[in-house]
Structure 1
Amino acid sequence: MQKIVPNIWFDGTAAEAAEHYARVLPDTSGRVLMRYPEEGLPDFQKALAGQPLTAEIVVGESAEDGGCRIVLINAGPEFAPNESISFMLNFDPSRDPDAAATLEAVWAGLGDGGEVLAELDEYPFSPRYGWIRDRYGVTWQLILTHPDGEPRPFVIPSLLFCGAAQNRAKAAIAAYTSLFDDSGVGMIVDYSTATGAVRADSVMFGDFRLAGQWFTAVDSPEPRDFSFTCGVSLQVNCADQAEIDRCWEALSAVPEAEQCGWCADEFGLSWQIVPEEMGSLMASPEAYGAMLAMKKIVIADFPK
């Protein structure tokens, strides 16, 4: 099971988005995972009765690692994704002889109804790179990798430390890699000189593994008026209550953000600390209401 699963918040369009991504991204499937109960919803959610609660996509299913699972949360307009967390897509010519053409096709698909943040062009670090916001507000970085570079997965969640989290990428990497097994730092490149919003020791580019999964982190070179939100969160699938307790203790730093297994860490990043068997725990008609009453998830408090 994928230990850390990115979750993206959608304003009523999660199922539609899952179908869109399955068409646009290579070797990708999409499906509805769970629906809201028909009864017992709080007033602010009653209009969602019976509608999808979550959908999922699995990107790059033909890859050796089985692809990357991303959950799409179907809710309201309370939160929206922004550039603080994007998804880097690595098009590797050593794995796909038509990588450049595949990149162009995905760029066109994601760009349909979207907005370009960095033009698809040649850059010093890649012969083909671009950054785009799609029609749902999700941001993607597409890069043609060097054939002789160190292999990386097709999808890598990318953290942009800006706003309240400016210049904290290095501290975050150290904190996160100390928490999970099978974790470590890949490459860290500093800016070397202070410029714009960064210090000389800020991170120009860094990548790291958490529970065997790759992430990247960057300190924004320019001031930005946003940072991490619940628009994109990281779900940690825990083996038992002891692991839930340990992760919650390490990651929850904002008491007012604690709700239904959600918490925010000292950098503002949102996490969902949940049991691996969350699906079966939610099978009971009373489970949704029980979950709404929780801050940290307590497995024993779910109805049997």
Structure 2
Amino acid sequence: MKVIVTDKISGKGVDLLKAEGYEVKEAWDIPKEELPEIIGDFDAIVIRSATKVKGDLLDAAKNLKVVGRAGIGLDNVDLKKCEERGITVRNTPNATTDTVAELALAFMFALARKVVQGTTTLRKGDWAKKQLKGSELLGKTLGIVGCGRIGSALARKCNALGMNIIGCDVVHISEACVDQCEIPEVFSQADFISLHLPLLPETKHIINEEAITKMKDGVFIINCARGGTIDEKALYEAIKSGKVGGAALDVWEKEPVELESSKKLLELEQVIGSPHIGAQTAEGQERAGIQVAEAVIEELKKL
């Protein structure tokens, strides 16, 4: 069996694949546009978020039987075409659950206590102590939109901090510390709103101008899920007007950041962000690499 790894994963994951006797090609340095030329002979492909298993690449993958995604999101895989061709797709939903939840929590602290503004003013030589009065998380209401693994992990962490947790999802929320509500209630009651849901037609711009009008004045918005779930232009206007107190964004409508709407948000001191690093910890990536290798091995052994 031949396996191609097109996005870099933990060396322990690669070693597991090799230990099974598979021929493993470490191809993460090959330009993505050249992958269709070489993928034809491979039985399995291991990816993260950079490789798009769709279009020309999937068409050229004549021998492909398994797609292994080190991570959670599968928006870079044409699931419909894979199903039609009998290609099994596996991801690692548990590998970086706490990794992403911790970033969302870090963003909440940073927004509430103006940590980034404190750093930037110090670097400018300013002592802005009086201007940087923050707020506490204790006693505040966190609204979680999407209470799957990551949303539930964030809920548990924030419950331990003394926050009130409300959430909404399309299914029953089993996490005991979350009071399940409809999305309008989450928007109207929360002091902090954190998104943890995939980008689908029904979730695109789930936070838009209309939704923002229902929110508390001064609400903080956190997005460590997927770009496109927030209307960036509407968010910009809401922050400028003071309706939204601040936002922390790890994901953007188009990545890397190039849309004018994203760039305008980054001009605002009330906005802090990062370049889609939610799953980027040494521990999380090691777990993801090992788990995706184990999943690919499991599927290849069925053939």
Q: Please indicate the TM-score interval, normalised by the length of the shorter structure.
A: under 0.3
Q: Flag the structure with more relative contact order, 1 or 2, with Cα contacts below 8 A and sequence separation at least 6.
A: 2
Q: Which has the higher helix share?
A: 2
TM-score with structure 1 length normalisation? 0.23
Q: Quick check: which one's strand share is greater?
A: 1
Normalised TM-score (structure 2) = 0.23
